[in-house]
Structures are given as structure tokens and as C-alpha cells.
Amino acid sequence: MMAFSQDPTAPRFVQNPYPFYETMRAGGDLAYWQEYAMPCAVSHRAVSALLRDRRFGREIPPEMAPDIAPHLIPFYAVEAHSMLELEPPRHTRLRGLVLRAFTSRRIKELAPEIALLSHDLIDRFPDGPVDLLPAFCAPLPVIVICRLLGVPEAHADQLLAWSNAMVSIYQARRDRAIEEAAAQAAQEFSAFLADYIETRRKHPADDLITHLIAAEEAGEKLSTEELITTCILLLNAGHEATVHTMGNGIKALLETGTSITPDNAEPVVEEILRFDPPLHMFTRYTYETVEVFDHTFQRGDQVALMLAAANRDPLVWTDPDRLDPARPLSANTSFGAGLHFCVGAPLARLELQIALPILFGRLPDMRLTTPPRFANLYHFHGLRSLEVNTA
């Protein structure tokens, strides 16, 4: 396995990490990233295989769990109940209960609301230049999640602030201030949801929180703590990914002159997800001695699954650095795979397939005012701003 060095906060890497991925991938299926001190799966076949390999998982082996710093206890108290961080049997139980409430029918029923909301946000655009991130990309998914959960939209800005603070802890630039802000947000977010869940127990409604409570009371129970964490996860994971995908996608469509309409929305969205996904790295722990791709992993070893590198593997996609919605469809890794495949993927796809054709249909002369720049968010990948002229 070849070793490579790259600061994930370096400006050139932040703006374009793909040349580094290509360099790593040229060395084989696995590469050692020195700054992260772990092997990375960089080919499509390696990432896809390890996502599905049950000898690797998200949950740290219990004998290797580190002590939690006192200032981070509120944050990890929430994370302790997240199905994103758990393995079977607890993951199976949590995911099954969530999917009973988060059904495909319920998601499809949101389509008219997503369309109306898209038009409403565009109607509010000022004359002249507009930054699409705060004006369109950020509010749309958080308002949809609010409506889905049954939380009043008046709280959307506060929920967004808590979400942003919490997910910042996963960035390469994490420091003590970011950690303290994440812990405070977790505490405040949990208190808000605890009150709201109690309200829904007394006054049920046709919303996701009520349906999650019903699932809790129908046999296999969701605890209040699990309910709180699940609601936070649905907002944090779903919102963060959709905002970045939408921003990155609009940027790519405008820069390449690619059109998106209701008729071609599905293949265009899939190509956007492949071309510049919102999450570039996901790590796994090894649960036993495993020899795979010419490397032996020991229990407790970590491996980074490089989702964005896999999505540009030339063995799967011809000319992978080109945005081409007409290319033959191959499964990308942007939503993961296996038992941790993203629960919110159907909703994210629906939002993108509805909102983007409306945006480009309403604003056919939209163009970038300045070249967009990516924010220092790694291992997320999203823009600082997305300023366009709409006429």
C-alpha cells in the first residue's frame, strides 16, 4: 500500500480534491493517507465492497472506546443513540422502526409541497444578484424536514443553526471552540425536541414525530432519547447533504451549460450526485482480522471509505471528470451502501428532482456572477456561496 500526504484543510485541496484522489487511486485499491493515519479505500470496487462487508462497521469495538472529554459529554450523549453510529442488533431495531414511519408513501406525498416551496423561495429572490445558498439551497430542505417532523417552520432558522454547529465537529478543522459549540447545540436541540415530543404525546398529529412515537408504543419501543436522536439525525444528515448536493449541482450545471428539466431530472440528479457529492469520506472500524485488497486489517483498525474517489473511478465511468447525464447509469457511492445506506436518500433525490428543474425553468438566463469557492468543511464538500444573476 502506497502512502500519501495531503493536508485536508489546504486551500488547493479544498477547492479541488479530485487530483489527489486520482493520485491515490493510481496506487491501487487502498492507499495510506498520512494525515489521517489510516488506509483509504479509493477504488469503486473497494469502497463498494467494504460498505457491504459486515466485518467492518461504524461502532467502535467496546474495549477500544476512548474516554469522552467532559466538554463533549452532551454531544456524545446524543450520538450514543444514533443509528448512523450503531451496528446490529440495535441498528436493525432502530432503522426498522424509523422506516415504519419514514415510508416511501409519506415521502412521495411531499412532492407538491416541495414544488410550491421551490416557487415560493424563487418569488422572494431580490432583483439583481442573489446568493442561492441562503436564498434557496439551505431553506428548502430544512423547511421540508420541519413539515415532515411536524415542527413549526418558525423554528427553521434555529434548527439550522443547531444542525450546522453539530455537524461541524466532523470537519478536519475541528478545534475546541467547534467542539464546545457542537456540545451546546446538542444540549439545546435535545431539550427543544424533548418538549416537542411530550407535546405530541398529548396531542398527536399526522407527522413523523407522532408516527415515531406510535412505533415506540406499538411493541418494540423507541426510548425518548432514541426519538430525540433520530429527529436530530434526520435533520442534520439530510439537510447537510442536500444543501451541498444542490449547491454543487447548480454550480456544475451552470459551468457546463447542462440543462435540467422534469423530463431528464432523474439522470441529471444521479450524475450530479456522482460528479461532486456532499460527503467525501466515511470511516469504518474492523471487527476481526481481515485480509482484503492485499492488506491485513486487525480488530480496531480504521479504514476510510473515499466515496468521492470511488465516484470518479475510470474503470467504471469513462472520462469520469466530465459531467455527462447521458452516460450509462452505474451505482454511485454517494449515499453509501449496505445496511447503512442513507435512510433519507429517497427524500433527497425527490427534493433535487423537483427543485432544480423549477429553479432552471423559472430562471432560464441564470448565470454565475463569480466563480464559486468551496468552504473549508472537509470531509464534507460544499460551497461558501453561490452568487448568480437571474436576468
Percent of the chain at pLDDT exceeding 90: 82
Q: Mind listing the pLDDT tens digit for each residue in 152-204?
A: 889 999 999 999 999 999 999 999 999 999 999 999 999 999 999 999 999 99
Which residues touch 357 (CB under 8 Å, ≥6 apart)?
260, 261, 262, 265
Measure the CA–CA gap between 129 and 269, rounded to whole angstroms: 25
Which residues touch 79 (CB under 8 Å, ≥6 apart)?
85, 229
State the maximum Cα–Cα separation within the chain, in Å, rounded to a whole number.
61
Q: Phi-psi bin for 157: left (phi > 0), alpha (psi -120 to 50), beta?
A: alpha
Q: Which of the two residues, 350 and 127, has the higher pLDDT score?
A: 350
Give the angle subtended at the CA of 230 by the CAs of 225 and 232, to the nearest 5°: 95
Mean pLDDT of 311-318: 97
- pLDDT tier, 101 (very low <50, low <70, confident <90, very high otherwise): confident
Q: Mind listing the pLDDT tens digit for each residue in 266-280?
A: 999 999 999 999 999
Mean pLDDT of 332-339: 95
Q: According to the model, what pLDDT value does residue 217 have?
A: 52
- pLDDT tier, 97 (very low <50, low <70, confident <90, very high otherwise): confident
Q: Mind listing the pLDDT tens digit for each residue in 225-263?
A: 999 999 999 888 878 889 999 999 999 999 999 999 999
Grid coordinates representing 47 are 469502497
Average pLDDT of every residue of the chain: 94
pTM for this one? 0.94
Grid coordinates representing 312 are 470518479
Q: According to the model, what pLDDT value does residue 100 have?
A: 81
Grid coordinates representing 171 are 470537519
- pLDDT tier, 58 (very low <50, low <70, confident <90, very high otherwise): very high
- pLDDT tier, 110 (very low <50, low <70, confident <90, very high otherwise): very high
Q: Is the pLDDT of residue 221 over 80?
A: no
Grid coordinates representing 362 are 423559472
CA 153 to chain centre: 22
- pLDDT tier, 215 (very low <50, low <70, confident <90, very high otherwise): confident
- Residue 58: count other Cβ atoms within 10 Å of its Cβ: 17
Q: According to the model, what pLDDT value does residue 96 have?
A: 87
Report yes or no: 54 and 24 within 8 Å, Cβ to Cβ.
no
Q: Is the pLDDT of residue 54 over 90?
A: yes
Mean pLDDT of 136-152: 92
Grid coordinates representing 344 are 433519507
Structural domains in the chain, CATH included, are 2-389 (1.10.630.10)
Helix ranges, the chain (H):
11-15, 18-25, 44-52, 73-79, 90-101, 104-108, 111-123, 132, 139-149, 156-167, 176-202, 208-216, 224-256, 265-275, 307-310, 345-362
Residues facing 284 on adjacent strands? 303
Percent of the chain at pLDDT exceeding 70: 99
Which candidate, 106, 142, 139, 146, places its Cα nearest to that of 125? 139
Report yes or no: 343 and 137 within 8 Å, Cβ to Cβ.
no
Grid coordinates representing 293 are 485488497
